[in-house]
Amino acid sequence: MQARNIYPKGRAELRNARKQSTILFVAVFIFSIFVNLLMLTGPLYMLQVYDRVLSSRSVETLTALTILVMLLYVMMGFLDWARGRVMARVGARIHSILSKRVFFAVLETAKQPHFGNKSISGVSDLATVQKVFSSNALFSLFDMPWTPIFAAAIFIFHPMMGWLGLIGGVSLIILSLINQLMTRRNTIGAQHKLAQANQMAQSIRAESEAVEGLGMRHDVLSRWKDQSDEALQHDIAASDQTGMFSAFTKSFRLFLQSAMLGLGAYLVLQGELSPGAMIASSIMLGRALAPVEQAVSQWPHIQQSVSAWHSLSELLERSPLQAKQVALPTPIASLEAKNLTTVPPGSATPCLRGVSFIVEPGQAMGVIGQSASGKSSLARVISGYWPIVSGSLRLGGATLDQYDPDTLGKYIGYLPQSVTLFPATIAENIARMSQNPDEEMVVAAAKRAGAHELILEQPDGYNTVISAHSGALSGGQRQRIGLARALYGDPILLVLDEPNSALDSVGSAALNTAISQMKAENKSVIIMAHRPSAIQSCDTLLILENGMPKAFGLRDDVLAKFVKNASQIKSSLGGPGSVQANYTLGKQK
How much is the pLDDT for 358?
93
Residue from 501, 491, 487, 477 nearest 447 by CA: 487
Distance CA 244, CA 251 (A): 11
- Give the gyration radius of the chain's Cα atoms: 35
Taking the C-alpha atoms of residue 179 and residue 115, their distance in angstroms, rounded to an integer, is: 30
Task: Please check whether residue 290 is in contact with residue 319, taking contact to mean a CB–CB distance below 8 angstroms.
Answer: no
Residue type, 86: V
> 52 to each of 60, 178, 263, 511, how far by Cα in Å?
12, 44, 22, 95
Q: 415 CB contacts (<8 Å, ≥6 apart)? A: 479, 482, 483, 485, 486, 494, 495, 496, 497, 499
According to the model, what pLDDT value does residue 336 have? 93
In 154-271, which ranges are continuous DSSP H helix?
Answer: 159-206, 208-213, 217-269
Grouped pLDDT means (10 residues each) for the chain, 589 residues: 53 85 89 87 82 82 90 91 89 87 79 56 81 80 80 83 81 75 72 72 67 68 77 76 74 81 86 83 80 74 80 81 77 92 82 92 90 87 87 90 84 87 88 87 91 89 76 80 90 88 76 88 89 78 90 86 66 48 54
pLDDT, residue 1, reads: 32
> CA dist 46 to 159, 275, 290, Å?
20, 10, 19
Using DSSP, state whether 466 is helix, strand or coil: strand
pLDDT at 587: 56
> At 485, is the secondary structure helix, strand, or coil?
helix
Pairing outcome for strands 390-395 and 335-342: antiparallel
Q: How far apart are CA 372 and CA 357, in angstroms?
A: 19
The predicted pLDDT at position 573 comes to 60
Residue 499: its pLDDT value, please?
Answer: 84
Secondary structure of 10-49 in HEC code, one letter for each residue: HHHHHHHHHHCCHHHHHHHHHHHHHHHHHCCHHHHHHHHH
**What's residue 209's pLDDT?**
59
Instruction: For helices 275-297 and 217-269, give the axis angle rounded to 10 degrees.
Output: 170
Neighbours of 436 (CB within 10 A): 5
